[in-house]
Chains A and B, each alone.
Chain A
Amino acid sequence: KNQVEQSPQSLIILEGKNCTLQCNYTVSPFSNLRWYKQDTGRGPVSLTIMTFSENTKSNGRYTATLDADTKQSSLHITASQLSDSASYICVVSARQGAQKLVFGQGTRLTINP
């Protein structure tokens, strides 16, 4: 069964600290992996997208890594800011037709001043 598991479910850190969110998947055949940021009351916004051949991709203070062998990904946030408070969703695309996406449950990140 295609699944995406994220950890932790929630995380609270102080402003300025770094953090890492995890995503493990069993989706096959694998096409690509995306990280989305979802602010409360808004739709998800894409942060990064990685294909099988990519190990790392950055978007400002966000850096995503992908290990296709172990089927793991991480999202590292550097020097966190209050605006980073949001849910972060890992989404894996299975090559089953054009757009079959499998969503993780998300990690709820809270940045405290």
Chain B
Amino acid sequence: DAGVIQSPRHEVTEMGQEVTLRCKPISGHDYLFWYRQTMMRGLELLIYFNNNVPIDDSGMPEDRFSAKMPNASFSTLKIQPSEPRDSAVYFCASTFRTSGGEDTQYFGPGTRLTVL
């Protein structure tokens, strides 16, 4: 398996523009997570899905952020309009939850977003 795939790896955009980040989870995994990482705040969970359904979006900073998972192999995180404070590395992770709950999340390489 190629692991979790994210695109693009780097994105530079201007304030006010729409940004779409993409993620392909590991085949067979039924949980998908979106995280944001900054130097100041570390890793933060934004939203996660189970079987393509959003379960907890309490980490989404504001209405400018939205995430979708139209099928088991694809998810998007959209920021519209983008702001400089959105600059961060965005990670997607996936896992298959075992009955014992000892699941391991597998992270993608991340998308480094810079909003000018």
Contact = CB atoms under 8 A, between A and B. Distances in A.
A42 interface: yes
Contacts of A100: 45, 56
Contacts of A97: 55-56
Nearest to A106: B42
Given A97-B55, A97-B56, A106-B42, A49 B102 contact: yes
B79 to A, nearest CB: 20
Interface residues of B, number: 25
Interface of A: 31-32, 34, 41-46, 49, 51, 89, 91, 93, 97-101, 103-106
Contacts of B103: 99
B109 A42 contact: yes
A98 B97 contact: yes
A104 B44 CA distance: 10
B34 interface: no
Contacts of B56: 97, 99-100
